[in-house]
Amino acid sequence: MKEPAISVILEEVVPGEGGLDVASFVRGLQGLPQEVPLMIEHLSGEVDYDRAAAHYRDVARGEGIDL
């Protein structure tokens, strides 16, 4: 979230470079009764998508979750 701000303004960044608790996010997905896709969007290029996917996989692995 951008600060200071009068209202909520979310700035999209590569996962791992912002404030989202990715571990909580992947644990929440793991707790769902069905398999759910994890989508990564709105990045600037292939390198950023590769970095984002690697970050999600690393965090999930640390939580004992297989993506």
Nearest partner of 26 among 49, 58, 4, judged by Cα:
58
pLDDT in tens, 21-50: 999 999 999 999 999 888 999 999 999 999
pLDDT value at residue 8: 81
pLDDT value at residue 38: 87
Q: How confident is the model at residue 2 (pLDDT cuts 50, 70, 90)?
A: low
Find all residues with CB under 8 Å of 43, minimum gap 6, and list them: 12, 14, 49, 52
HEC string of the chain equals CCCCCCCCCCCCCCCCCCCCCHHHHHHHHHCCCCCCCCCCCCCCCHHHHHHHHHHHHHHHHHCCCCC
Q: How confident is the model at residue 1 (pLDDT cuts 50, 70, 90)?
A: low
